[in-house]
Amino acid sequence: MESGAELWIETTDPLAAIDIPHFCSENGHVLLASEKHETGHRFHIRKA
């Protein structure tokens, strides 16, 4: 993906709520949204 591209990730992994924000922070990506759903989480990320 090119810098500035946006991606939605949906997961059922309960640890994703910790792992995805940490991944973004460590790599300079921007976490635009984080939503909890009945079956898991959804994340909207902009690539650094």
Beta bridge partners of 16: none
Model-level pTM?
A: 0.91
Cβ-Cβ contacts under 8 Å for 31 (sequence gap 6 or more)? 20, 21, 24, 25, 43, 44, 45
Buried b (16+ CB within 10 A) or exposed e, 9-21: eebeeeebeeebe
Which domains does the chain carry? 6-46 (3.30.110.40)
The span from the CA of 31 to the CA of 17, in Å, is 11
pLDDT per residue over 24-44, tens digit each? Answer: 999 999 999 999 999 999 999
Sheet holding 6-11, edge to edge: 6-11, 40-46, 30-37
Please tell me the predicted confidence (pLDDT) of residue 6.
Answer: 98
